[in-house]
Amino acid sequence: MDQAGIPEEYKNHVAPGKDWKEIVAWVGDLPPLPHVASQALGLIEDPDTTAGKLAELLGGDTALAARVLKIANSAMFSRQREITTISQAIMIIGFKTLKGIIVAATLRQLNRNFGDVEKMIWENSACTAIGCRILASKLRKPYVEQVFLLGLLHDLGKLVLMRQVPEEYKKVVAAAAEGNEFSPTEQEQFGYGHALIGALVAKKWNFSMETCQVILHHHDELTFPFEDEIDEQTALVSLADCIAHVLGFGHPEGYPDLGPEALRIAEMFGLKEEDLEPIAEEIREAFGEMGGAFM
């Protein structure tokens, strides 16, 4: 089979001979976002939305409201006082970060089982999100909240694959324990990787084109200087992801050392090895204080 039916942006992410229609149908069969989550994400995108409107909506979903409060009271956001209302939480964490929390809560609910592999993926997603926020803050980037969401979503495809084809995906994890990186193994096993599935699911759930692009390309070869802000954000997510792996979050024992790759990407942002070590330690500490809020 040729690749004539595959949209240009996805061609490099689909193995020759893989039926594109099969992939599209597979993603199409996934459940939509739950009603409250979908409504909340729509409200966040509305420039006229107030914290009060969002708080009223989220108050109708006890589990979602509890998770928002839990994260707002974590060390990364708390300002020495307990946050007791959803409105307070929204004002403190911001709309874009709230979007990430809603997605995290929704994905957590969609993963019906929560075993060791799911925990491993979640730890990496949470650590990467926290790392994105810390890195963007230190580099004085204007998109601190945006990359928090991107970090949280970057491995969306792994969560979906683990939900839909758990036994097959456990083979990928077993190969990772033997020193094989996830993406090439997924490509060999399925004919596509988690980056493609994550981007397609994000598109199905009406996330922005920019969000889908970062998810799709976060394991692609990076070009420097960056062509635009999307490329820069993609590189930042890749760096935070590598740091999460270096810290031990997101893979079984035996996985390749991503330290050299982290340093290579860090240099694109003007960071040297001596800069990266304290940043990584700060990310480790922040994850220790906050990571459990996502589980």
Query: Does 285 or 114 have the greater pLDDT score?
Result: 285
Which residues have C-beta within 8 Å of that of residue 208, sequence separation ≥ 6? none
pLDDT at 105 over 90: no
pLDDT tens for 278-293 read 999 999 998 887 766 6
| pLDDT class of 104 with cuts at 50, 70, 90 | confident
What would you measure as the largest C-alpha separation in the chain, in angstroms?
61
Residue 20 host element (H or E): helix 20-28
User: According to the model, what pLDDT value does residue 221 have?
Assistant: 93
Residue 249 near residue 226 (C-beta atoms within 8 A)? no
pLDDT at 154 over 90: yes
Q: What percent of the chain has pLDDT over 90?
A: 56
pLDDT at 76 over 80: no
User: According to the model, what pLDDT value does residue 291 have?
Assistant: 63
User: According to the model, what pLDDT value does residue 1 have?
Assistant: 43
| pLDDT class of 78 with cuts at 50, 70, 90 | low
CATH topology of domain 113-295: Hypothetical protein af1432 (1.10.3210)
pLDDT tens for 158-192 read 988 988 899 999 999 999 999 999 999 999 999 99
pLDDT at 59 over 60: yes
DSSP helix/strand/coil, 80: coil
Instruction: Tell me which of 19-33, 127-141, 220-234, 251-265 is least confident.
Output: 19-33
| pLDDT class of 95 with cuts at 50, 70, 90 | confident
User: According to the model, what pLDDT value does residue 281 have?
Assistant: 95
Residue type, 294: F
Instruction: Tell me which of 28-42, 121-135, 189-203 is least confident.
Output: 28-42
User: According to the model, what pLDDT value does residue 111 have?
Assistant: 65
Look-up of token digits 């077993």: 174
pLDDT at 114 over 80: no
| Beta bridge mates, 114 | none
The CB density around residue 227, as the number of other CB atoms within 10 Å, is 9
- Would you list the domain boundaries of the chain? 33-110, 113-295
Q: What is the mean pLDDT of the chain?
A: 89
SS3 content of the chain, % helix, strand, coil (to 5): 70, 0, 30
User: According to the model, what pLDDT value does residue 184 have?
Assistant: 95
pLDDT at 3 over 80: no
Q: How far apart are CA 246 and CA 280, in angstroms?
A: 9
